[in-house]
Structure 1
Amino acid sequence: MEKLKGIMQLLRKECPWDQKQTPQSLTKYAIEEAYEVEDAVRSGQVHAIKDELGDLLLQVVFQSEMYAEQGQFDFNDVVNAIIEKLIRRHPHVFDQENYDTLTAEQVKQLWDQIKQQEKQQRGETTSRLDQIKHGPALTQAQDIQENVSNIGFDFATVNDAMKKVHEEWAELDEAIMTKEPSKIEDEFGDCLFAMINVGRKLNVSSEMALLSTIQKFRQRFAFIEQTAFAQSKSIEDMTLAEMDVLWEQAKLQQK
C-alpha cells in the first residue's frame, strides 16, 4: 500500500492528466470500475477479477490523495474509519459477551438499527428508506420495494403486481399521445418501477437480469459484426433485414 500511495503521489506531481483531476471529475471512474468488478466476477476469470479490484482500489487511493493535499484526510484515515465502523456495527462479533448468536437476517437488522442510531446522534432526519444506498437505479428500486414490503406495503400476489404494470403501461400510452417529454418520462419511470416490482416478487434481480440481457445482446451483435466481416461486408451498409437474419443465427448459436 505504501508503494501504491507513493506512485499516486508521484503521478499527481508529474502527470498532466492526473494533476488536472478533481474529486468530482473522478467519481464517474469509481462507478465504472465498480461495474467492471461486477463483470469480472460474473465472468469467473480470476486474473480479470484481480485486475479490476486493483483498478477500484486505485480510485480509493486517488481520491484519498487529493483530499490529503487539501489537508482534509488521507488514506490511513479512510482505513481507520472503516475499521471503526466495522467494529461498531458488529457488536455480536466484537462484544460477544453481551450478544447471543444471531442469524444472517438478524445481523442485517442489527446493522440497519445501528446505522439509524448513528444518524440520530448526528442530528440527521431518519427514514426507513435511508438505509437504501444511492446506487444503480434498478437496485435502488428493488431494495426500496423490499424494504416497504417488510411492513406490508406491497401487492399480495404477482398477478396484482402485473395488474399495476398494465395500468402504468396504459398511462404511458396516454402520455405518449400528449407528446409532453416530462410526462412521458414520468410514466416511463412508473412502468419500470412496476416491472421491477414484478421481478422482485418472482425472486428475480432486475439488475442481474438486465445485465444478463445486455451481455447476451453484446454477444449477438458481435456475431453479426464478425459474420459481416467474414463475408467482406460493411455492417454500416447492411439492411435491417440482413442483420435480423444474422441475429437469429446468433440466437441459435447461444442456445
Structure 2
Amino acid sequence: ERTSVLDGVPKGMPALLRAEKLQKKASKVGFDWPEIHGVIDKVEEEIDELRDEVMVGDEKKAIEELGDLFFALVNLSRHLGVNPELCLNEASNKFERRFRYVEENCNLEEATLEEMDRVWEEAKK
C-alpha cells in the first residue's frame, strides 16, 4: 500500500534517474517551479550554499550541499527536456576528447598547469 506520491521509486536506482523520477512525481501534484527561471535561481542558490560550506571548511555540510546542487541540476535538465544521464555522458566524452588532445600535445610529467591549460584551450577550438 502506497502512502506517498513518491512511493515506487527504488532507492537502489541510479542516482540521476532516481532524482528525475522523484521530481516528476512531485511535479504531477504541482510541487514544481512554474517556469525555468526559478530552477536556475535554485541552482545558483545551491552553488552559493556549497561555496559557503567549503569556505568554512565543513566537509559534511559541503557534501550535503553538493548533493543538493546535483539534485537541482537534474531538475534543470528536466525543465529543459534533457536526459541528465545523456547530458553528463556527452560532457564526459567532450572532456575525454580534450584531455586526450592535451596528452598528445603536452608532456604531462613536465608541463605546468598553465601549459596544460593553454593546450586545453587549443583543444576547445
- For normalisation by structure 2, the TM-score amounts to 0.85
Pairwise mapping of residues 1-255 of structure 1 onto structure 2 (< 5 A)?
120=1, 127-133=4-10, 134-228=12-106, 234-252=107-125
The whole-number CA distance in structure 2 between the counterparts of 1:199 and 1:224 is 30
Equivalenced residues, count = 124
Runs of 4+ residues deviating >6 angstroms: none
What is the aligned-residue RMSD (CA, Å)?
1.8
Q: Which has the higher contact order (CA 8 A, sep 6+)?
A: 2
Letter in 1 for 2:80: L
Instruction: Write out per-residue CA displacement over residues 126-180 of structure 1, whole angstroms, 9 at most, x where no aligned residue.
Output: 5433332432212211121112111111111101111222222222232223311
5+ long unaligned stretches in structure 2: none
DSSP 3-state at the match of 2:34: coil
Instruction: Write out per-residue CA displacement over residues 2-40 of structure 1, whole angstroms, 9 at most, x where no aligned residue.
Output: xxxxxxxxxxxxxxxxxxxxxxxxxxxxxxxxxxxxxxx
5+ long unaligned stretches in structure 1: 1-119, 229-233
The whole-number CA distance in structure 1 between the counterparts of 2:108 and 2:48 is 37
Percent identical residues: 38
The whole-number CA distance in structure 1 between the counterparts of 2:98 and 2:82 is 23
